[in-house]
């Protein structure tokens, strides 16, 4: 029997604008390996379409994304203590983020509800971000005992909002709202939840009128400036570091459970 699996990422084209939607609303668009693979493949497909000038990235349901699929990561860590499976999962996240940041079209993240953890990493790898004013942003990893290493989010955040604000988000793990995110430079514009789609569409139409060659040259120059301070791509070590943090978290949880039962 052939099982037909619905896509985890849906693609809709409207003239020069492509709408990519994370489509696992039952899980809060938790980023599992399959979704990340499909997202990366979709971005690469759109890169080859010369008619597409803008990619709008959104999330279905009540939020953009609650972050990485922690259940999947814990299962991978349990099934493969050596860490290869976890490292490969984190690598899929790095590939998705790099696909977005390196995309030929201008990328615009349309954000609503929770934009947490790995979901925030995806968003900051887009060129521009517009959010509902009641959207919530958070990097909860350290509060869970894991390093916030996923998709090179740390480097990207520092280049987008500065080292000081990045430390605040990473260490305090506080939730901030859309208006605070705007003051930080984490988003570039706000709209009411009712007007968010209209605002994102209006931005996309404006961006789609930019000349393709000029956009490519501009994006190349901006990416070069962003990477100028690096002496190597340290995100290549994210998988190993994340696996270490994940195993430490699992050990801590198991120890706490043992102590509570004695």
pLDDT of residue 249: 53
CATH number of 9-260: 3.90.226.10
Closest by CA to 146, choosing from 104, 112, 114, 118, is 118
Which alpha helices (DSSP H) does 112-237 contain, by range? 117-124, 153-161, 163-172, 178-184, 196-208, 212-227
Q: Supply 149's token pair.
A: 């290493």
Report how far Cα 209 is from the mean position of its chain's Cα atoms.
26
Question: Which residues of the chain fall short of a pLDDT of 50?
Answer: 1-2, 231-232, 234, 237, 251-262
pLDDT at position 258: 38
- Write down the pLDDT at residue 240: 53
**Res 154: pLDDT:** 86
| Res 203: pLDDT | 98
Integer Cα distance of 155 and 82 in angstroms: 27
What pLDDT, on the 0 to 100 scale, is given for residue 228?
A: 58
């Amino acid at each position: 029997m052939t099982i037909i699996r619905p896509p985890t990422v849906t693609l809709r084209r409207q003239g020069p604008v492509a709408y990519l939607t994370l489509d696992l609303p039952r899980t809060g668009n938790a980023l599992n390996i399959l979704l990340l693979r499909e997202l990366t493949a979709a971005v690469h497909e759109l890169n080859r379409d010369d008619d597409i000038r803008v990619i709008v990235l959104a999330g279905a349901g009540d939020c953009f994304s609650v972050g990485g699929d922690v259940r999947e990561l814990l299962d991978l860590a349990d099934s493969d203590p050596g860490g290869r499976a976890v490292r490969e999962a984190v690598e899929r996240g790095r590939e998705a983020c790099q696909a977005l940041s390196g995309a030929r079209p201008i990328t615009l993240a349309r954000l609503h509800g929770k934009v947490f953890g790995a979901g925030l990493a995806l968003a900051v790898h887009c060129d521009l971000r517009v959010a509902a004013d009641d959207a919530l942003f958070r990097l909860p990893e350290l509060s869970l005992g894991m390093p916030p290493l996923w998709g090179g989010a740390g480097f990207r955040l520092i280049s987008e909002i500065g080292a000081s604000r990045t430390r605040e988000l990473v260490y305090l793990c506080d939730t901030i709202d859309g208006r605070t995110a705007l003051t930080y430079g984490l988003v570039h514009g706000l709209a009411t939840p009712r007007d968010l789609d209209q605002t994102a569409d209006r931005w996309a139409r404006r961006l789609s009128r930019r000349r393709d060659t000029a956009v490519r040259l501009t994006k190349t120059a901006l990416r070069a400036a962003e990477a100028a301070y690096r002496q190597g791509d340290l995100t290549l070590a994210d998988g190993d570091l994340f696996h270490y943090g994940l195993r430490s978290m699992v050990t801590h949880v198991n120890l706490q459970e043992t102590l509570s039962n004695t």
